[in-house]
Amino acid sequence: MTSVLLENEEAFADENGGASAVDAVLALMRADQPVDYDPDELLPVQLAAMSERLASQRAAVGLLDRRADHAGIAEIGRLDDAVPLLFSHASYKSYPESLVTEGRWAGLLRWLDNLATEDLAAVDVADVSDLDDFLDRLWSSGHPVLTTSGTSGKCSLLPQSTLDIDRNDANGVMTYGWSHGLSATEKRPGFFMAKRGGPYGGNVMHQAVARTFVDPDACHFLYEERERVTDTNRAGRLAKRVADRTATPSEIAEAKMLAAEAARRTAERLEAVLDALLEHSGEPVMVWGTVFPNWQLVDTASRRGARFEGHPRTAVHIGGGTKSNALPPDFAGELERFYAPGVVKPGAYGQSEVVALAPQCSADRYHFAASTLVILLDESGRTAVPRNGGRVEGLFGVYDIAQHGRWGGLLTSDWLTVHFDRCPCGMQSPSVVEVSRLDGRGDDKVSCAGRAEMYVRGA
């Protein structure tokens, strides 16, 4: 996979001529396997890299400067110093909604500029028509902004630099290539159970995967159109009002109409994607998407009584949760029986907010890359859990050393079980053995309700 490694060389090039802790970490990201290192040896380098970023970014990132001032932190000497500098997901959706609904784009730009390391002031947002148009202006000015799926009616806006996109693409391609056994020199038919484009983090990544591993003449998407944030937010707001029982009768009718139209369209597209897939029966293919549409495709085949011959080198990536859609208990088995044994797997654990993914190894653990400083927190969310080797459990906080266009400190809502000793696969980096969402765990692990509120993922 020479071409993939070359992409890594460029994306993770030195930032400071090789003479910094950040550069020492970037050098590991250029290695053949960026997830094989001794965590005890690397920890002081990772903390020093975080200190360097704090010093260089606080003047640009207002929120970081205020947090560091308030906590009296100028340097990161130990994991606990990092904790007050982890931003919650809520930080990236803390803009007043009226900036969007009233079209005050200059105000929204100022809010975003306060979170970005690059200067966004020169971006022309005059005559912007809606949030998608606003995001297009930023992307075309060289300031990509990622969004989270705004299922609550308001999406997070995460400023990045073009370097972050290059790094995310290069790492994603390398990670999935490794864990799914893909080769850039053997392009295959690809079936993406998603929209073809848009600023949503997952969309940006699967474009890179498609470019590298998929035959452009046999690249299929469940939805050919681009993801529009404005539409997703509108549907999210409506769904929330229906759930809250605050929707008017006409809003309820609109929600029902939208849901019926989406279901009809999805069913129609599932048939089309299945037709295309059946043309490649017996060949190694790639199928990519979250659990539910992946299962819907196989269910469509089963209801049609379609015959498909699996191939042992097929790669089926399933990501994300079940998104509250009811699935039969044996859906994973159904997928395996349809495609081939052992080919259906996540391949990686990660957040669209973090540059590097943690690839799934042969022991079915997920290994953190050198650029991901893992900070596990106790139930209070205020104290880092000490690493004493072995198995450690905690709320997943992360400092992303590879993040360039915004501050890399993030508090997620995932509760992880991580091993800090050598994995049965042979690699030594910290490896995840279990993930549960904090919001799915009940309240027993959260002693402070106010704190719990902060954890809720901005999705």
Contacts with Zn ion by CB under 5 A lie at 361, 363, 365, 423, 425, 427
Cβ nearer to Zn ion, comparing 175 with 413: 175
Shortest separation between residue 435's beta carbon and Zn ion, angstroms: 15
Cβ nearer to Zn ion, comparing 392 with 452: 392
Shortest separation between residue 307's beta carbon and Zn ion, angstroms: 37
Shortest separation between residue 195's beta carbon and Zn ion, angstroms: 33
Q: Whose CA is closest to 456, among 75, 88, 144?
A: 88
Shortest separation between residue 365's beta carbon and Zn ion, angstroms: 4
What residues contact residue 333 under an 8 Å CB cut-off, 6+ apart? none
Cβ nearer to Zn ion, comparing 377 with 427: 427
How far does CA 420 lie from the centroid of its chain?
Answer: 23
Cβ nearer to Zn ion, comparing 427 with 446: 427
Shortest separation between residue 42's beta carbon and Zn ion, angstroms: 16
Shortest separation between residue 355's beta carbon and Zn ion, angstroms: 21
Residue 114 to residues 99, 122, 379: CA-CA distances in angstroms?
Answer: 15, 14, 30
H-helix or E-strand spanning residue 207 = helix 201-213
Shortest separation between residue 339's beta carbon and Zn ion, angstroms: 24
Judge whether 396 and 441 are in contact, CB under 8 Å.
no
| The residue type at 448 | C
Shortest separation between residue 425's beta carbon and Zn ion, angstroms: 3
Report the C-alpha gap between 168 and 369 in whole angstroms.
12
SS3 assignment, position 88: strand
Cβ nearer to Zn ion, comparing 354 with 423: 423
Report the C-alpha gap between 361 and 194 in whole angstroms.
26
Cβ nearer to Zn ion, comparing 22 with 423: 423
Cβ nearer to Zn ion, comparing 43 with 363: 363
How much is the CA Rg of the chain, to the nearest whole Å? 22
Shortest separation between residue 347's beta carbon and Zn ion, angstroms: 13
Q: Whose CA is closest to 123, among 104, 111, 140?
A: 140
Cβ nearer to Zn ion, comparing 370 with 427: 427
Cβ nearer to Zn ion, comparing 386 with 426: 426
Report the C-alpha gap between 60 and 247 in whole angstroms.
41
CA atoms 278, 282, 288, 294: torsion sign: positive
Cβ nearer to Zn ion, comparing 31 with 60: 31
Judge whether 39 and 432 are in contact, CB under 8 Å.
no
Instruction: Tell me the HSE value of 413 on the side-chain side, using a 13 A CA sphere.
Output: 19
Residue 398 to residues 70, 199, 211, 244, 419: CA-CA distances in angstroms?
Answer: 20, 23, 29, 33, 16
Q: Whose CA is closest to 202, among 166, 168, 174?
A: 168
Question: Where does residue 102 rank: exposed (0-12), middle (13-18), buried (19+ CB within 10 A)?
Answer: exposed
SS3 assignment, position 192: strand
What residues contact residue 228 under an 8 Å CB cut-off, 6+ apart? 132, 198
Shortest separation between residue 180's beta carbon and Zn ion, angstroms: 16
